[in-house]
Chain A
Amino acid sequence: MNTRLPLFVLLAVTAGVAFTLRTPRLGGEFDLDAFTRVPTLVNGRVKPVDTVARTSLLMLQGRQRVVAPDGRTVAPAEWLLDMFFKPLQADRYQVFEVVHPDVLAMLGLATTDGAGGKRFSLTQLQPRLMELDRQARLADDVEGAARTPFQRAVVQLRDAVILYQRLQTCAAAPGIETFLEDLARLEQNLPAAVAAVRSAPTGTAAPGGKTDAGGWSALSRAFTVMDEFGYLRLVPPAAGVAAEEGWRTIGGAWSATLASGQLEPSAQALAALGRAWQRGNAAEFNRLVRAQRERTMAAWPEMKRKTDFETRFNAAQPFYTSMALYVAAALVAFFSWLRWPEELGRIAFGLVGLAFVLTSGGILARMWLEARPPVTNLYSSALFVGWGAVALCLVLEYFFRNAVGSVAAGLIGFAALLIAHHLSLGGDTMEMMRAVLDSNFWLATHVVTITVGYSATFLAGLLAILYIVRGALTRSLDRATADALARMIYGIVCFATFFSLVGTVLGGIWADQSWGRFWGWDPKENGALLIVLWNAIILHARSGGYVRQRGLAVLAVFGNVVTAWSWFGVNMLGVGLHSYGFMGAAFWWLILFVASQLAVMLIAALPWAQWRSAQLLAAGVAGRAAAGRG
């Protein structure tokens, strides 16, 4: 094989990855790119509407792509525009994922009615929305952990419908089809409208009465509804107001206009934007959307940088690209064990390095956007666990050059990003931190250290799985590789012990700082303690000579179980001060994972003669043949 080949392959892949990072262009007549970058305040954070569109779609249907009834693919931002300004059209997009058969039966739908057998539109749900609401209310009375899968599915769908309606309510009043025209009329007759609303206090005005020929009071009530239920705060604060305080909903801004007689330029511009979108007037739309961005951004240059960057970050999707790279790396590294170890090994190493650089960039980007240390919630902990483990793998591979590090990196990097993807379905992953967690110092020390501890424990477990699977199920584990693997496992366990222990104790110190006790036997604390104890058991068992290579591997695999429990299991208990990361549905995945690990341990416990690599291992250094027996 050509020795330059690895270089060429890697250059080609790098070029491909660079291509995904270029400035995104949505194309088309309408300047959707400018619209994606319009800033808004949601859940306490200023973000581009692009993020809102993407995370909302993830929450509704588990993916970002929308397909219109005519088969056309709709970009997330375009979908959001239709939600705002063409609600009737948006209601026909199939964006609600419903899979539970009983829920489908309740809604009177069959899988054949849905796109891909599971996605439905609001129009399809509409006839049975009252029933959905009634069922969800029944489920509300049941405590979260005690709900049946049906009840959970009902509540989830009801919440999705509410999110959907709150999205629609932020730009136009529900049920008023002429809303945007009404706003134009309001702008022209503002003094009359203000007078009419003042003379008729809210709630008492009779539409069409003498003083309210224009229906202004009804409009005023619509604004109040929009202010209350609207999901986004789209109207930026006037210059000079504290950056995150002054954001208003469109409804709130128009209410203020009716009260003061002063027009709010951003609310006006968004209404005009909506009219242009409805009429298909691209030139007008483009002029307005650019002007709106200019107006906001002139006052907040820092915000401009962040929203622009976040939009690009959203479009680049570095973590999805990395997932593909990790899979490729694992496959290539795996084949390097069969043929061309030198060349394929180098390609795999390069791919892992590339994916690592990409995830590092993604994590750094998130850190800059949030102004936070890397780990702030379960989602980012999954990213970081993967990142840390891959970093360790790169070090291992650099020293050992036997493709074990690359296989491990590919598998663990992919698994971590897959877990992260599923965690991202809960909503925006850059959330604001609750008061007790709002401490960059402790997030940077305790949380990061403990997460590195998770990474290392998982990595040790994965290496142990490689040892067991290769040794027991294939004839490929030779003495040198076995020794190298055992040494890797031991080194990584040492590393894991250090970080888990220090992280746990730092956590105790944080608890002492914020709650007044060093240790409270809280489930999350106990979970961390279990990891430390288990790693301590591994180290002591090895140093006492109670286990050798095989025993070490078996113990390290069980470390996976302990760590998975500590990471996710304790959140499922729903008790304790730490239980802010509650999650229910992942329980079965955890059970499955634990079962798989126990299965690997059972395989390892096969009699030595049954190990398919037993002969190969015995054929190693004669004096050390027995070393493999744990």
Chain B
Amino acid sequence: MTTPTSVAGPRRILPLLLSVRQQLASLKLTLVLLGLSMILVFAGTLDQVNLGIWAVQEKYFRSFVVYGQVGPVSVPLFPGGYLVGGLLMLNLTAAFLGRFALTWRKSGLLLSHFGLILLLVGELLTGLWQEDFHLRLSMGETRNYAESFQATELAFTDITEAKFDEVVAIPEALLAGKESLQHPKLPFRVVTKAYYPNSSLAMRGHEGGAVMATAGLGLRILAAPQPVTYRPKERNAPSAFVELSAPDRSLGVYLVSLLLDQPQEFVHEGRTWRIALRPKRVYQPYSLTLLKFSHDRYAGTQIPKNFSSRLRLNTPDGRDDREVLIYMNNPLRYGGLTFYQSGFENNDRTTILQVVRNPSWLIPYVACGLMSVGLLLQFGVHLAGFVGRRRTANLPPPALA
């Protein structure tokens, strides 16, 4: 099955490699993988009733193995999306390298399968690169940052200078690691004493109980951990107890929480700091001002006809200063971000825009084009051949005996 080589080493390896490649490129593997993906997708759809869409994505599609609970132990049940998708990718690539012949008759097949590879790559990149934020703007309000849906950050703001604030933001993941953190811009270390991915707050009653905080609001407010939620419209409210330690002494243990609206202030070495756990922010080099949010309904009904936000887009350098209109199915793409009309609140006076950064957004469009053309070519060639044969054959209609 392979060409023999005179070199001793590769003599064993090469046939093995070729055999592996042949196995990888086999149609049987394709069929098995397609079948597995069907089961995976079906199970992942059904489970959305229980888990919600986000948890299902993590459990079934953005994982290598799907685990299930058998009693108290979690056991691997099924290959996950990354594994099946990755193997399909290997299978396709191997077929490209080995099995597919570059002929005109097969060009449609080649093109459509190449489009498929591109689509899978695009999805992988999207999974890796895409970030989602949202931007809430009330009428007349101007902002130059968007906030994350899921991620939070611990922000220290030095507000001593009147003209500017200096912000150091620590991502949630580092807090959850409970390590001692030192940042060159911060004159103290940050040590996580406790971290709750989801929590509730309550005023501290007279009965007391153990208090972890030694300074700030945490003296009066208690935080209790809550189970993590995966429901599509709910957000986890993390809380943490963090100790700030200067080289010589502790500045106190603070309770920080997404549920606390106002940052807490303290003074250290003559500088005034603010500390707050807040949704992760992404700053843009331009600002958006909400001029008008419209929510049209069909006459005499509550059926929404259209949502739209008229905004002013402004860059500090003055290059862009124009009005933009964002509405359903018509996002604004600007500076690597895409702004979508996502929702509204506050009696139609506040708009919620979804902000997405996805450097690979164009790939699916190209992939779609390639696959369509490829399949058209492939089936078109078949169809033309079939019609041609029918014409020449001119068969009598088969009737029953």
Residue ranges of A at the interface with B (Cβ–Cβ < 8 Å)? 41-45, 233, 244-245, 247, 337-338, 341-342, 345, 399-402, 431-432, 434-436, 438-439, 442, 476, 478, 480-481, 484, 487, 491, 494-495, 497-498, 501-502, 505-506, 508-510, 512-523, 526-527, 529-530, 533-534, 536-537, 540-541, 543-544, 546, 570, 573-576
Contacts and interface: CB of A to CB of B under 8 A. Distances in A.
A533 B31 CA distance: 10
Nearest to A337: B400
Contacts, number: 185
A572 B325 CA distance: 36
A546 B31 contact: yes
Contacts of B126: 517-519
A405 to B, nearest CB: 12
B255 interface: no
Contact of A402 (B28, B122, B368, B397): B397
A520 B61 CA distance: 10
A83 to B, nearest CB: 19
Interface in B78-120: 119
A28 B37 CA distance: 64
Contact of A573 (B45, B130, B338, B383): B45
Q: Which 6 A-B pairs have the closest CB atoms?
A: A44-B298, A544-B27, A516-B356, A480-B398, A341-B399, A401-B397
Nearest to B51: A575
A43 B298 contact: yes
B56 A44 contact: no
Interface in B256-301: 297-301
B380 to A, nearest CB: 10
With most chain A CB atoms within 10 A of its CB, the pick from B34, B329, B395 is: B329
A484 to B, nearest CB: 7
B57 interface: yes
B139 to A, nearest CB: 20
Contact of A510 (B53, B122, B329): B329
A247 B298 CA distance: 11
Contacts of A512: 361, 364
A338 B41 contact: no
B63 interface: no
Nearest to B376: A498
Contacts of B365: 509
Secondary structure call for the B interface: helix
B364 A508 contact: yes
Interface in B340-365: 340, 342, 354, 356, 358, 361, 364-365
8 contacts: A402-B397, A438-B306, A505-B364, A505-B367, A512-B364, A517-B130, A521-B53, A540-B30
B48 A576 contact: yes
B31 A544 contact: yes
Contacts of B340: 514-516
Given A233-B299, A514-B329, A523-B45, 7 more contacts: A41-B299, A432-B305, A435-B305, A516-B356, A518-B122, A522-B53, A575-B48
Contacts of B297: 44
B398 A481 contact: yes
Contacts of A521: 44-45, 53, 56-57, 60-61
A501 B376 CA distance: 11
Nearest to A342: B397
Contacts of B379: 494-495, 498
B164 interface: no
A230 to B, nearest CB: 10
Interface residues of B, number: 68
Interface of B: 27-28, 30-31, 34-35, 37-38, 41-42, 44-46, 48-49, 52-53, 56-57, 60-61, 119, 122-123, 126, 130, 132, 297-301, 303-307, 328-331, 338, 340, 342, 354, 356, 358, 361, 364-365, 367-368, 371-372, 375-376, 379, 382-383, 386-387, 390, 395, 397-401
A233 B301 CA distance: 11
Contacts of A494: 379, 382
Contacts of B397: 341-342, 345, 400-402
A35 B299 CA distance: 23
A402 B390 CA distance: 14
Given A401-B397, A521-B56, A533 B305 contact: no
Contacts of A399: 387, 390
A442 B382 CA distance: 29
B300 A515 contact: no
A540 B328 contact: no
A513 B41 contact: no
A478 B371 contact: no
Nearest to B27: A544
Contacts of A244: 298-299
A510 B386 CA distance: 35
A506 B119 CA distance: 12
A537 B53 contact: no
B119 to A, nearest CB: 7
Contacts of A570: 45
Nearest to B387: A399
A247 B400 contact: no
Given A244-B299, A247-B299, A526 B364 contact: no
Contacts of A522: 53
A402 to B, nearest CB: 5
A231 to B, nearest CB: 10
A537 B356 contact: no
A573 B368 contact: no
A545 to B, nearest CB: 9
B400 A498 contact: no
